[in-house]
Amino acid sequence: MLPAHSGFGRNYGRSLVIAQQGVVATSQALASQAGAQILAHGGSAVDAAIAANAVLGLVEPMMDGIGGDLFVLYWDAKTQKLRGLNASGPAPRALSPAFLAKHGETAMPLSDIHTVTVPGAVDGWAKLHQRHGKLAWNELFAAAIAYADQGFPVTEAIAEQWASPISFERLSSQPESARLFLADGNPRRQGDIFRNPGLSRAYRCLAGGGARVFYEGEIAAAILKTSQRLGGTMTAGDLASFSAEWVEPISIDYRGWRVYELPPNGQGMAALEMLNIMEASPASAEGPFSPAEIHTRIEAMKLAYSDVYRYNADPRTCAVPVQQLLSKEHARERASLIDPQRANGQVSAAEVTGSDTTYLTVADREGNIVSWIQSIFSNFGSGITVEGMGFVLQNRGAGFTLDPAHPNVLAGGKRPYHTIIPGFMERGDSHIGFGIMGGPNQPLAHAQFVSNYVDYGMNLQQALEAPRFTKLGPAGCDVLIESRVPEATRRQLIEMGHDLAVRPEYTQEMGRGQAILHDSRTGTNYAASDPRADGAATPEPIVT
């Protein structure tokens, strides 16, 4: 008989996936499998990511698709270099605060044709494939086309999102969306077989004609027809002129690890500033779920978010003070504002001069890593389905403000504040692609993941599964927190002034993450997939 203290067991659910071959980690098992099959047929990490992303656009239509934007961090194992791609599209040139005012809008709408910005994802796919692809472009859409034609069973977490009040309201308001995504006027339920012949048609167009079909060909024509019918301002020139942009990542050192995000117009700098503020004091000796640790994380989040909400915008149109906001001196100044005994509900931005999403990550057998995030913004985006093409247009324009004094004010040809952010971190031989989606939740979820891994020695799966908190903005003391945080901790946080709303053990409100670590010394990949989603980390099968 084994002794009671034998050491068997663990305090998290899923095992790490460990393989010497490539691995694909996504939020839906069919997408992970499609990407792994691409790797098995000689595809690169980028090839697998495109194939997986195409399937995700079908199986998670409320989250992502070719009507949305894309951001990617790409780690090249041979050159040991990390590069970024910003494939987010601008507002139509004719859209302006004055135009909206004429139509009775006093604030940016949350969902209608005037929230639709140029979808950047497909051009992003093409630029990545041109530089890092191995297989032919048309081979990457086979699984997505087959599932669109044959159908697939709607899975548990996806059904939950499909049935949300926001999803139902947006789909019901648009006849084409209601026809495609509702069944007899009701949301698709878990186990329902969903087919999307329109999206199959769109993918066949892309596979046969290349990415420019989306911006100048048959798909572009369908987008413009849909927009014009609803009074939108998008033109053929808006679509045809779009080009994704290669960018240099931004980074900080966090207790010996280099942590990377993409620069604005994304909100990645909030994650880095939050980590900097957390680093100004030691991690709590009482552990990651202690009142002191969670209090510090919450207060650091408020300070970092107040800064990013004040200064983040499209850097092509104004100067964003990234260097100042990410300096250690700025972090120490902000950290000095944290009262270790009391929550602060009146946080304001520093004076500085100068969502719903799908995340996936892939490492191939050569050690190349993509950290890849793609989105149509909130549930079912604008709610507008492109006629005959089976995909929804994003409502990313809702990220603008109409305040003329704010750097993120709406302007034609300008990219809005973006919530979606891929993450990457490295130290020595360890290189990690990671991401946790979910609108404004993402930077604070990134910081919690990094701290769990770096400060408390968790492995990737444990760090993803660990209970999290979230907060939608810096104002107030309201915090959403999972019930797995110990009751004694929650009670003390309330005594410190935090207004806690307790959520179930694993809730999608905390985001849904994926992570892969490549050990360049051994060539081994370690992968994790968040149980808050329907996904899996799937290793590349060996073809015999």
For residue 183, list its beta bridge partners: 186
The catalytically annotated residue of 26, 296, 357, 538 is 357
Strand segments (E) across 364-505: 369-377, 423-427, 430-437, 469-470, 478-482, 499-503
Cβ contacts of 135 within 8 Å, gap of 6 or more: 38, 41, 42, 43, 44, 47
Q: Which long-range contacts (CB under 8 A, 24 or more apart) does 228-231 make?
A: 229/387, 230/112, 230/113, 230/384, 231/113
Residue 106 bears catalytic tag? no
- Rg, the chain, Cα only: 22
Other residues' Cβ atoms within 10 Å of the Cβ of residue 480: 17
474: left (phi over 0), alpha (psi -120 to 50) or beta: alpha
Torsion of CA 263, 125, 529, 150, to 10 degrees: 150
* DSSP H or E run through 378: none
CA distance 497 to 146: 53
Q: Of 502, 495, 455, whose CA–CA distance to 286 is shortest?
A: 455
Using DSSP's 3-state secondary structure scheme, residue 61 falls into coil
Instruction: Quote the CA–CA distance of 152 and 28 in Å, as a whole number.
Output: 12
519's enclosing H/E stretch is strand 512-519
CA–CA distance, 187 with 160 (Å, rounded to integer): 10
Burial of 43 (0-12, 13-18, 19+ CB in 10 A): buried
The SS3 call for residue 318 is: coil
Strand, helix or coil at 257? strand
| Strand runs labelled E in 241-308 | 245-247, 250-254, 257-261
The H or E element containing residue 357 is: strand 356-363
In the chain, how long is the greatest CA-to-CA distance? 79
**231 three-class SS:** coil
513: three-class secondary structure by DSSP: strand
Question: Could you list the active site residues?
Answer: 357
